[in-house]
Chain A
Amino acid sequence: MRRLARENSLGLVFLALFLVALVLQAVAGHAAYDDEQAAHGEPGISLWTYVSSSAFAVSVMENWQSEYLQFTLFIVLTVWLFQRGSPESKELDARGRESDERQRVGRHAGSDSPWPARRGAGIARALYENSLLVVMGAIWVASWFAQSLTGMVEHNAEQVQHRQPELSWLAYVGSGDFWQRTLENWQSEFLAVGSMAIFAVYLRQRGSPESKPVGAPHDATGVEG
């Protein structure tokens, strides 16, 4: 049991952090929502009503979509783009999807390779070769769509409160509210990823695989600690 926890501590700790943060977000968001209601002379709502409302869902989804976009972009762009000296980049001579030999697919696969990797070129292997990108990208698209739906409901509730006309979904995805919610998250993700890739050229964290070894030269690209 102890070994199981130790060997999976990264996934387990982030899972626990996610659940605790989500619950705290719900509690804090509910308090803020009720304050707003009171300011408008409206009655408060229960925590459950808040958690199952678009007001809560949109604030969760707008952050989900930007995180998944960040990783989706990172996965796909690092296939072709480089950052000299960064452990986040691969070696400068390995541009693109690389050879079957290097990727250990088809006849270069080992007996312990995942079964689609051992297949010849075909649908199963093509799908598996891109499965991380496909799944992360699908979660990004789905959460961005969910943000658009819940954002529209939330925006329209506000419109009604202010005696303004409600927007259709199409009108909402062209609105400032939708793009403001979207881009406020994107800009921070892009900055964090870009700065992480560059900072890791010159800065180190001893023991972290996100960093190069402390003594690795600044020029070494694609080396993880």
Chain B
Amino acid sequence: MSGPRALFAIYVVLIAVGLAAAILIGASGR
């Protein structure tokens, strides 16, 4: 995997995980 492609994937995963975690935390009322 090329450098930019790997970084693209890392950023996408990081953002998706962050958004999903925040939505789950909010939805669970924690």
List chain A positions with a Cβ less than 8 A from chain B.
4, 7-8, 11-12, 15, 18, 52-54, 57-58, 60-61, 64, 139, 142-143, 145-150, 152-153
Contact = CB atoms under 8 A, between A and B. Distances in A.
Contacts of A147: 22
B12 to A, nearest CB: 9
Given A52-B25, A146-B19, A153 B30 contact: yes
Contact of A143 (B10, B14, B22): B22
Given A4-B3, A54-B30, A139-B15, A60 B22 contact: yes
B21 to A, nearest CB: 7
A145 B21 CA distance: 12
Interface residues of B, number: 17
A146 B7 contact: no
Contacts of A64: 18-19
Contact of B19 (A54, A142, A148): A142
8 contacts: A4-B3, A11-B11, A52-B30, A60-B18, A142-B19, A149-B26, A152-B26, A153-B25
Interface string B1-30: 001100100110011001101110111011
Contacts of B18: 60, 64
Q: Pick the 6 closest A-B CB pairs, nearest first.
A: A149-B26, A146-B22, A150-B26, A8-B3, A11-B7, A57-B22
Contacts of B10: 15
B25 to A, nearest CB: 5
A175 B26 CA distance: 17
A52 B28 CA distance: 11
A18 to B, nearest CB: 8
Contacts of A145: 23
A171 to B, nearest CB: 15
B25 A8 contact: no
A8 B27 CA distance: 37
A7 B7 CA distance: 12
